[in-house]
Every structure is written in C-alpha cells, then in structure tokens.
Amino acid sequence: MLPTPAHQLWRPWMRRALQLAALGRGRTSPNPMVGAVVLDAAGQLVGEGFHGQAGGPHAEVGALNQAGDRARGGTLVVTLEPCCHHGRTPPCSEAVIAAGLQQVVIAMADPNPQVAGGGIAQLQAAGIAVIQGVGEAEARSLNRAFLHRLATGRPRAILKWAMGADGRTALSNGASQWISGPEARRWVHQLRSQCDAVIVGGGTVRADNPLLTSRGLRSPEPLRVVLSRSLDLPTSAQLWDTALAPTLVAHGPQADPAARARLGQKGREQTNLEGLELASCTPKALLEALADRGCNQVLWECGPELAANALKEGCVQEIAAVIAPKLMGGLPARTPLGELGFEHMDQVPGWQALAPVCLGADLLWRLEQP
Amino acid sequence: MLPTPAHQLWRPWMRRALQLAALGRGRTSPNPMVGAVVLDAAGQLVGEGFHGQAGGPHAEVGALNQAGDRARGGTLVVTLEPCCHHGRTPPCSEAVIAAGLQQVVIAMADPNPQVAGGGIAQLQAAGIAVIQGVGEAEARSLNRAFLHRLATGRPRAILKWAMGADGRTALSNGASQWISGPEARRWVHQLRSQCDAVIVGGGTVRADNPLLTSRGLRSPEPLRVVLSRSLDLPTSAQLWDTALAPTLVAHGPQADPAARARLGQKGREQTNLEGLELASCTPKALLEALADRGCNQVLWECGPELAANALKEGCVQEIAAVIAPKLMGGLPARTPLGELGFEHMDQVPGWQALAPVCLGADLLWRLEQP
C-alpha cells in the first residue's frame, strides 16, 4: 500500500504505538506484540496500552480503558488489526465499536486465520473509518517471529555462537570458558530473554553443562530444550535443576528405553522437567513441536553438527556471532558449523549483515537469512 | 616528555609534517617516513617536503630547497631528527645549519644508532634552538614498522586472512575463490601496497596459485616471497612470472638438491626470481633475512600451519581478518590457524581490536599485538 498524506499524518502516533508494543517483547508468545494509543476528538493523547502477556488484556482494551469517555469521537492507533473472535479475552472489535471512536488507524491486518480482515470489516460495518498500512513495514519487522511461525509452522530461530577471531569455539582440549567477555555474555542473557526457548544438543550438555537462563531478565525464564538422539545424558547437570527454569528433553522414537525410563523417573521427581518423543529426532520436528507449544522465537546454542543440521533444514533465520579478539588455534578445535555440503563458493549464499556492534572487547555480528 | 605551551603551538604544523611524511608510505624502506615544513621568520609557510624513496632527497632538504632564502631566521618542523651522517645523501644537519634557521621542532629522535641524538647535538652546537617531542606519539605510530625493525631485527608483520562468518578459509574441497567481495579484495591490494614483501608458504602456491601483487598500487610491487621447506613447488605458477613483480623462494639447508637446481635454472632464465637458503626454514629466520634486505613491514598471506608458526615465533604484530557474511561449513575445511598449544582459555591473550570496518558486504577487523 502506497503511503498517502493520511499515512504521513499518523506515522508519529503509530511510532509511539510500536514503542508500546515492544514493551511486551519476549512475553507475548504465542501472541504477537501489540501496542495502541487513543486520541480524543481534538487529537490529544488520552490512552496508551500494550499486550503484556498471553491471556492478559489486549493493547486496545488497555488504551480504551485508560481513555474512558474521552475516546468518543476520537481515534485509535493500533499496530495490529483488532481481533474479532473470542479467544482467552473477548473480541477487541466490539470494545472499539462500543467506545464510539470515529476512526481506527492500523499498521497491519492480523494474519491469524481467525481474524484476517474480519476485525476491520466489523469496524467498517459499524461506520468507523479505517486507515490501514501506516508503519506496516515496522510492524511486520517487530513481529517477524510471530509472522514466521504463522507462515511456516515453526518458530523463527536464531543461531548464536561465540568464537575467537580465528573461528574456533573451543581450544583443542574442549576448553571454552570464557571466550567472550562479561559484556557479551550479558548480551546473550538479553538475547535469551527475547526467546521462548533455548536449544542445545546432548553434546553441549556433556561438554559445557550450561545453565541457559536469562539470569532473571525474563520471567518466566525461557524453556530450556535438549535435543538428544541417544539420551546419553549426564546424571547430574544444571539443566536438571528446574527450580530456575523448565527443561524439555526431546528425543526420537529410537531413544534407548532405559534412558527414557530414567528421564521419566527424573520428571516425576521434578515438576518442569519433561520428556518429549518426536516423530524424528530432527531440528525441523523439534521446531514444529515448539511452535505447537506457542514458541514464536527460539535460540540455538548448540554444537557444530546440530547447528549445521538446523541450517540445512531451514531452521535458522538469523546468526548472532560473538567474535572475541583472541587467537585460539588448534587443529581438532571445535568450530561453529559442521558440514554444509557446498562444493563451489558461488553456491554459498551471502547473508544480510547488520552493522557490527562492539560488546566490550568483543564484536557482535548479526546476519539475517538471505 | 610532557607537553609545554611551545608544544601546543607547534602541534598544527607538526600535524602537517606528519601528513607529508605519510605520502611516502610503502616506498621509503629501509628508511622511515619523514615529512617537514619550513616557516619564515614571520611564521608563514615557505616550504614543504617529504621523503619519497630510499636514496631520494630527505624531507628537510626538499622543504629547505623550496623555502630558499626565506628560511633564514625561520623554523623547520620535521617529524624525525635530521641525520648527521653521510649515507646515500649528505647529512641534513649541515643543510639545516647552512639555511640559517632560528629553531628546529622535532617529533622524535632518530633511533638509528648512526644518528641517535647526534643531529640534535650538531644543531644546538650551531646555536639553533631545538624543541623536541612535539607529536611524538603520532610520529612513533606512523613509523612503528621502521621502529619495530630497529628494535627487533625483523620487519613488523601483518597476518591477513579472509574467512566466512563461521571461521572457514576454504570449503571442504579447498575451493576459496572468492570468499570476500570486490571491495575487500581491493583493500587487500592497498594493504599489499603498504608492505615491502608478501609471504606465502608452498601449500598456498600449490592450492591457490596466487598473484600477490598490489595490482599496480605500489611501484615497484612488493617482493613476493615463498617459504618452502620441501621446494616441492609447481612447475608453472603465477609467481614464476616476474615481469610484474620480483619473487624470492626461501628454503632451509635441507632442501632437495634437484629442486634447488631447478630453481637455480628458473632464476637464470628470469631476472627477479631468486632462491635464498636460510639457516633454518622458520618464519623468524625468514624475517631476519628480509630485514637485512631493508623490509620494514611484511604481510603473511599464508595457510594455517605457517601462520601458527609465525605467531608462535613472535613474527606477527597485527591481524587483518576479513570476514564475509557467508556460512561455509565443512568438517575438513581450512581454518585461519593451526595448533597454538593453549590448554586453558586464560592462557589465550586478548589482542587490541580496532573498530571494525565494513568493506562492501564484508567486515574488516584488525587486531594489534597485546
């Protein structure tokens, strides 16, 4: 949709609504982030709201409640088409109509098949003017994880690693703590706080015994997931202590029955520790299961083989490479990725790089899927 | 030396002299870069000069010639102590005294043991006021390669590589053309133009058949050097065509006599193709030989084993890592560095990183020796 003068007029208020929406980052799944502002008939700001968590009030309702009677004859500016169906909360379209608004400005239609234009149609049928597409690109970017899940049936996935400037993720003997400095490690906690699940393979549990939490930056903590074909996992591991965060152990149908029984035993002792049998022990099957559990965005923090498999199955939309100014060397030393099967350099796609960011002495380079 | 008000006064002119000095970059070895300005008695600029190549006029002489009689009673601002010995050109201290200057402002004393304060003493003995240490840090930084050679007996060395974001410098089958884009490759030509020699190992000649020139950005081209223990080198290679640039093949005393004879034969057919026997086939022995040939700065563009050996022998002062936004993968795929022998992460030194620079889609990250 081409911008019109009306679009230009509403962009500043939509920008505010997008800022409000972003306040819910990492907490709204399986829902999108949504923000809303209400202006009175004279164009003065009288209400603001955002969607803070699934099951909680929608952004429009919060903003309209704040505005009260002052919404009458006014304008609602909202980042997503108001819903028109009964979910965990009543339809917002009804609340909008009841508020007596003159017009509604919307960034993007709701791609949820239960809405998909139905909310807009209800508003228009009630005589409310609807302006669509204001700040649509920004709104799509903000909710790209949610949109990715709706389009593919899998969460958007980020693959993160920390390496030396020579591309090693461990020394020859496996030592890897710490490659990056405290600023970069803190940033990884922030990244985790924006994800619904953090995934490793069995090898990472055995080698690094990671904690995988956001260190309290997200509450609840993201789901910690181990994808293990063999279920050959250590008896004692930080991930088995689920007081801080839940842990899910996913495996294929061929997992060793004895190991499965031990996992079941652990699960009975600990709430929040769960086993999950996948139809196949693949990144794709795991992400489909996580989408069913409402994950919009997940983080791979796994070793080279699982990372390469995730890439080959299209299960990585973004790379977050933390690069330390250290030369680690080591012929058998671990690298970020296993075999990808390229034979010519012109088969290797160029990813879309964001500007590099300095995190203390380290460098963060984010690449988005080509 | 602490800055005085006089230092502050002369800093802008010293900055100009340093700019002039930098015009000689890549062409003055074994000499340092030097720049000079002459101001008349009223403080007006009347002459500028820089050292353009070894054997050519010194910076002071150029600036004084331009100033002529107007130098009388004036000031010479020069980035390095004027020489006081007969080299390929007469001593500059005599020319400075003859010009009737009132004072001389100098950034740093000449560390060359043939000068080392002698030039300053001559000027002071002739009644000329000498102000020392203006812009000394900048002058030392500009000539750090020259200073490194004088201090260590080896040229300053830069190790350059191009890798994917996952730290691979080739695909599993060895394919590596091209990892980086045209802007980054052009930058490598510029980097070569600032070096006196570009060094590879025999493996790189066999695998990549590189040309290793600055593509005309430096004239003459840097010396191309192959360090080969075995002298098991291809019969045909771009490096054997010395019409564009000279090539030196360095080897140890154990090199195969037949291969040595073939190299001698090639050398008789081609001027500019030369064999050199080192006491040992090591990076250190090679750099000492290159320092003897007047190299101030050299560039390693070699494979992982030679690069790791150069690092372990202290023969690398700077890393220039070009990182492409590509995921190359590959378990047997080449990486920048071989074994460095670290066992704990806290043994791995952090290098001093410069701000990353974007070269087209690629990233350039330079690290300086810790």
A114-160 pLDDT tens trace: 878 888 999 999 999 999 999 999 999 999 999 999 999 999 999 99
CB contact under 8 A, A338 and B355: no
Contacts of A336 in chain B (CB under 8 A): 166-167
Q: Do B365 and A165 touch (CB under 8 A)?
A: yes
Q: Which residues of A carry out catalysis? A: 60
| B233, amino acid identity | L
Q: Dump pLDDT digits (tens) for A100-126.
A: 999 999 999 988 888 788 889 999 999
pTM higher than the cut 0.90: yes
For residues B85 and B93, is the Cβ–Cβ distance under 8 A? no
For the residues of A202-239, what is the DSSP string, one character each?
A: HHHHHHH------TTSSSSPPEEEEE-SS----SS-GG
Answer yes or no: are the C-beta atoms of A326 and B349 closer than 8 Å. yes
**Span A328-336, mean pLDDT?**
92
Distance from CA of A325 to the nearest CA of B (A): 5
List CB contacts (< 8 A) between A344 and chain B. Answer: 171, 175
Q: According to the model, what pLDDT value does residue A2 have?
A: 56
Which residue among B165, B329, B343 sits closest to A171, beta carbon to beta carbon? B343
Superfamily of domain A154-368: Dihydrofolate Reductase, subunit A (3.40.430.10)
With both helix axes pointing from N to C terminus, report the angle between B59-67 and B5-22 in degrees, rounded to the nearest 10: 100
What letter would DSSP give residue A350? B
Q: Where are the domains of chain B?
A: 5-142, 152-368
Pick the closest to residue A79 from A103, A105, A98 (CA basis): A105
Among left, alpha and beta (phi > 0; psi -120 to 50; other), residue A135 is left
Alpha helical stretches, state H, chain A: 5-22, 59-67, 92-98, 118-125, 136-142, 144-152, 182-193, 202-208, 257-269, 283-292, 304-312
CB under 8 Å to A80, separation ≥6 — which residues?
A32, A34, A106, A107, A108, A110, A139, A143
pLDDT score, position A117: 83
Say whether B342 and A171 touch across the interface (CB within 8 A).
Answer: yes
Mutate to test the interface with A, among B160, B340, B343 (most CBs of A within 10 A): B340
CB contact under 8 A, A348 and B163: no
Q: How far apart are CA A113 and CA B319, in angstroms?
A: 53
Contact B184, B344 (CB under 8 A): no
**Candidates A168, A336, A351; nearest CB to B325:** A351
Residue of B nearest to A355 (CA): B358
Q: Which residues of A touch B352 (CB under 8 A)?
A: 325
- What pLDDT is stored for residue A5 in this prediction? 73
Overall fold of domain A5-142:
Cytidine Deaminase; domain 2 (3.40.140)
SS3 content of chain B, % helix, strand, coil (to 5): 30, 20, 45
Q: Which of A164, A311, A350 sits opposite B325 (nearest CB)?
A: A350
Burial state string for B156-168 with b = 16 or more CB within 10 A and e = fewer than 16: bbbbbbbbbbbbb
Q: Report the run of H or E that residue B97 belongs to, with start and end.
A: helix B92-98
The closest of B50, B54, B28, B56 to B38, measured between CA atoms, is: B50
Residues of B in contact with A335 (CB under 8 A): 166-168, 335
Nearest-CA distance from B253 to chain A in Å? Answer: 28
| B169 vs B187: CA distance, rounded Å | 18
CA distance A204 to A290: 20
| Cβ contact, residue pair B338, A356, below 8 Å | no
Which residues fall within 8 angstroms of residue B165, CB to CB, at 6 or more apart?
A: A319, A321, A351, A365, A367, B323, B324, B325, B326, B327
Q: From the candidates B48, B60, B136, B318, which is the catalytic residue?
A: B60
Low-confidence ranges of chain B (pLDDT < 70): 1-4
Output the CATH code of domain B152-368: 3.40.430.10
Give CA–CA dist A248/A180, Å, rounded. Answer: 27
Collect all residues with Cβ–Cβ distance below 8 Å to A356 and sequence separation of at least 6: A363, A364, A365, B356, B358, B363
Residue ranges of E strands in A34-140: 35-39, 45-50, 75-80, 103-108, 129-132
* Chain A residue numbers touching B319 (CB-CB < 8 A): 165, 327
Structure tokens at A341: 């099967």
| C-alpha separations of B143 from B34, B80, B83 in Å | 9, 10, 16
ipTM reported for the complex, 2 dp: 0.92
Task: Please say whether the beta carbons of B248 and B242 come within 8 A.
Answer: no
Q: Are the C-beta atoms of residues B54 and B81 closer than 8 Å to each other?
A: no
**What distance in Å separates the CA atoms of residue B165 and residue A336, rounded to the nearest whole number?**
9
Q: Do B348 and A327 touch (CB under 8 A)?
A: yes
Q: How does pLDDT run across B222-243, given as a tens digit for each residue?
A: 999 999 998 999 999 999 999 9
What is the count of residue pairs from A and B with beta carbons less than 8 Å apart?
159
Q: Could you give the CA distance from residue A115 to residue A124 in angstroms, rounded to a whole number? A: 14
pLDDT confidence bin for A3, thresholds 50/70/90: low
pLDDT tens, residue by residue, A247-287: 999 999 989 999 999 888 888 888 899 999 999 999 999 99
Is B260 exposed, middle or buried, given 0-12, 13-18 or 19+ CB atoms closer than 10 A?
middle
| CA–CA min distance A351, chain B (Å) | 5
